[in-house]
Amino acid sequence: MPGDGSIDYVPLLKKLKGAGFAGWLVVEAEQDPKKAHPLTYATMGCKNLTRMAKDAGFTVDPVRP
């Protein structure tokens, strides 16, 4: 999940921004549902990725269900 590991996403996202990236950022929540509730972790990942994308200078459209 973005924000819950060793990857520092903001510098990576800044490089994408600088290269003109204007595509989608997607959170994939594949884990054992017995250990981590998928909706809970997908929601947390979305919030973290949204914050990091904004910190990198992206304009983030509202999340659509």
Q: Which domain holds residue 15?
A: 9-55
Q: Which amino acid is at 30?
A: E
pLDDT attached to residue 4: 63
pLDDT attached to residue 20: 96
* Digit-coded pLDDT (tens) for 5-44: 678 899 999 999 999 999 988 877 777 888 888 888 888 8
Distance set, CA 56 to CA 7, 28, 42 (Å) = 14, 20, 21
The tally of domains found in the chain comes to 1
Alpha-carbon distance 47 to 34, whole Å? 22
Residue 62: inside a domain: no
Residue 61: inside a domain: no
Write phi, then psi, for 44 (nearest 5 degrees). Answer: -65, -45
